[in-house]
Homo-oligomer: A and B are copies of this chain.
């Protein structure tokens, strides 16, 4: 029974990492919809998001079943409870990627991102994708060093968001308020997406060490 329980925990862990991998695909496709004006990429974002949603619900159900049937304690309990929170984060990441694709879709065939901001938004897209790929490894290997590194690397996204707001709030912003509103929302979606990878990393550190990281 213990062996089967361990197998199921291992299976859940592998699938959680897989779903995290899907969030990397979702944010990549969303960025593609946004910057390459590719409506097929927006559709793919939605498909991947639907997949994340369905798999999350299934994972949720299985974690609850294990909690109910196995009554785990100590580390196993931490693993399952953290798993539930991680699932919630991954679902939210999928939704945020879908929000980005939706902004692109609403304005198609017009570009939402003005030429001079393409670089920053492109960097945000890359950073978000890299962070969700890093989170996938953190989840798969429960690697606390990688988790610490991910948490530290989130400063990059915060700096990009500051750069973005510095441009849109600049006195010489030429694209009007409507454009500034869109860019603000997009920046915030990318930033929140990355915040969830930080939450996941903090939780993995907690699972492994029993300590909540103080940063």
Chain A interface (Cβ within 8 Å of chain B)? 64, 67-68, 71, 73-74, 77-78, 81, 84-85, 88, 165, 168-171, 173, 175-181, 183-185, 188
Partner of A64, one of B68, B81, B168, B180: B81
Report Cα–Cα, A119/B182, bound state, in Å: 23
Q: Which residue of B lies closest to A88 (CB)?
A: B85
Q: Which residue of B lies closest to A70 (CB)?
A: B71
Interface of A is mostly: helix
Partner of A181, one of B78, B81, B85, B181: B181
Question: Using Cβ atoms and an 8 Å threshold, which residues of chain B touch A185?
Answer: 184, 188
- B84 close to A74 (CB less than 8 A): no
Determine which residue in A73, A81, A84, A181 has the highest number of CB atoms from chain B within 10 A of its CB, and name it: A181
Report Cα–Cα, A71/B77, bound state, in Å: 10
Q: Which residue of B lies closest to A173 (CB)?
A: B177
Report Cα–Cα, A177/B178, bound state, in Å: 8
A117 to chain B, nearest CB (A): 12
Report Cα–Cα, A57/B212, bound state, in Å: 11
Question: Using Cβ atoms and an 8 Å threshold, which residues of chain B touch A188?
Answer: 185, 188
A199 to chain B, nearest CB (A): 9
Report Cα–Cα, A73/B69, bound state, in Å: 8
- B184 close to A181 (CB less than 8 A): yes
A212 to chain B, nearest CB (A): 9
Question: Using Cβ atoms and an 8 Å threshold, which residues of chain B touch A181?
Answer: 165, 168-169, 180-181, 183-184
- What 16 additional pairs, Cβ within 8 angstroms, besides A64-B78, A68-B73? A64-B81, A67-B67, A67-B77, A68-B77, A81-B81, A84-B85, A165-B181, A168-B177, A169-B177, A173-B177, A176-B177, A177-B177, A178-B180, A181-B181, A184-B185, A188-B188
A171 to chain B, nearest CB (A): 8
Report Cα–Cα, A188/B188, bound state, in Å: 10
A191 to chain B, nearest CB (A): 11
Query: Are A64 and B77 CB-contacts (below 8 A) given A178-B169, A184-B185?
Result: yes
Question: Using Cβ atoms and an 8 Å threshold, which residues of chain B touch A165?
Answer: 181
